[in-house]
Structure 1
Amino acid sequence: MTTTSPTSPDDLTATTFELAGHAGALHGKAWEGIDPTYVVLLVHGYGEHVGRYQWVAEKLVADGAAVYGLDHLGHGRSDGERVLVADFEPVVDDVHLLFERARAEHPQLPVVLLGHSMGGMIGARYAQRYGAELAAVVLSGPVIGRWDAVEALLGADEIPDVPIDPDTLSRDAAVGQAYVDDELVWHGPFKRPTLEALHREIGLITDAGRVDAVPVLWLHGEDDQLVPIEPSRGGWQHLAGDRAEQRSYPGARHEILNETNKEEVLGDALGFVHRHLPAAG
């Protein structure tokens, strides 16, 4: 099923579609201008959905990208119990389904992956498994190395019903308010099977080690209180290959693509991508 609908009268039109994921139907979006020159796969974070990346998609399309994203199992408009993910390896497989959809529609274009937070974790594992199929990977505030919040919650007898603090997302208060008001965002507690799966996947990425098949860029806010930079840096040291690059942003919080310096962040990401896209023939 494919439908086309604008998210608002002034916004770039998004095409919606469904993919048959590993445990149910996955809701997808695609944004595209005229004659794109490359493809970007957007991989969203925990509890959110790909519709929150409208601004990013618009900027990418203006740069020449065809942009594809999907709501993970249990997220947004996709099937599944809310935020319940028992194993992230099949979620990586779901992202590969998205790659195959994009490749079928644009068989000659290079493909880039951009993953944020938990989506950065998924993107890191995707790079380990499928990196040779990609031109570049950008990880924004990725959950790699260690996430102390997961360790603490797993050690609790009962998971507290405490939602993510919107103030940790951005210095722009409007970002946090939009997050709170978004009915497709999960505002409840973590679920123990998801925490266990996160813990396993982080360890699996560390054990699998460096990525040399594709250039990878790590971006992180230095005042990220949700996914602190130092544990992520530890994971990056295991992951970074010969063509890896990194950049951090003083004062920036977790959602650097929604931060007050978001133009700078996306500019850095696009500069990296263009350095690694194949030359047009």
Structure 2
Amino acid sequence: MESTELSFEGHAGKVVGRRWADDARGEPDYVVILVHGYGEHSGRYEHVAARLVGDGAAVYAIDHVGHGQSEGEPVLIDSFQEVEEDVHVLESLARTDHPTVPVVLIGHSMGGLIAARYAQRWGDGLGAIVLSAPVLGQWRAADALLAADEIPDVPIDPSTLSRDPAVGEAYVADPLVWHGTFKRRTLEAIQEALRMIAAAGPVDDPILWLHGEADELVPLADTKAGWASLAGRHASAKSYPGARHEIFNETNQDEVLDDVVEFIRANVRSPRRA
């Protein structure tokens, strides 16, 4: 698997991203647009990309504005519509590279929120959508933080990410991860995006929701209400007992990634496989 850096001018400055592929094998079977979560960056998904490339994909991802190596005030998002448009530019770049293969969208956590709204706006062009522990319906953590006169300086607890302690240790040590306070405007933008998703109605393209049952950061029950309004005719869901928030980094991550690949294979017919 080769990894190459890409960049373009986004809505709030330079956006930096990555492309993972095995170009020696020729045209990929499908393209994946991978959308990361709050405070992190696309580099944390190298192992996810490796699994997908091994299945025949080319994987594209960006660091959102204010995240990772992209420009912007740290973790400040004024509007998720603009972030979705940055992702749309990425999809356009991927389609320019691979105009004849289907496109799959995968989003985790806040990236699941972005992917859900993206699917409502541009889902007709997607072969499949996968939401990993998405922020949907209601996010009580945001409600509690916004209720405070001043956002408390309480970063994400790394123990909520995975049952594997090495995941939390790597998260804390990663200099590209944001370890500071939530920004009020970002939390307000998340709530605004949740309202827009609820108002826009279901996605009828193939869409899969995956979630850890022991997720304390984005509780399954809160997401379930949002999923009820988002899920269309081709929706499916699965949860994992004992798993925490970052299911792609969980102790059963192989099972989770196998489920993702199986869903893609069942719903995406590539020209080469045909």
TM-score (norm 2): 0.97
State which drifts further: 270-279 or 51-60: 270-279
After superposition, residues 1-281 of structure 1 pair within 5 angstroms as: 12-33=1-22, 34-35=25-26, 36-212=28-204, 214-278=205-269, 280=271, 281=274
Deviation for aligned residue 1:279: 5.2
TM superposition shift of 1:23: 1.1
**Paired residue secondary structure (2:32):** strand
1:13 Cα offset (Å):
3.0
Gapped runs of 5+ residues in structure 2? none
Name the amino acid aligned to 1:175.
V
Distance 1:141 1:15 in 2: 27
CA distances 1:85-127 after superposition (whole Å, capped 9, x unpaired) = 0110010001000100000000001000010000000000010
Give 1:262's aligned amino acid: Q
TM-score by length of 1: 0.95
Q: Could you list the runs of 5+ residues in structure 1 that have no partner in the other structure?
A: 1-11
Divergent runs of 4+, >4 A = none
Q: For 1:73 and 1:120, locate their aligned partners in 2 and report how far apart those are by CA, in whole Å.
A: 16
| Identity percentage of aligned residues | 59
Once residues 177 and 145 of structure 1 are traced to their aligned partners in structure 2, the CA distance between those partners, rounded to angstroms, is 30
RMSD over equivalenced CA pairs, Å: 0.7
CA distance in 2 between counterparts of 1:128 and 1:278 reads: 22
Q: Deviations over 1:163-200 (max 9, x none)?
A: 10000000000000000000000000101110110110
Q: How many residues align?
A: 269
Cα separation, 1, equivalents of 2:255 and 2:198: 29
Aligned partners of 2:30 and 2:270 also within 8 Å: no
SS of 1:121's equivalent? helix
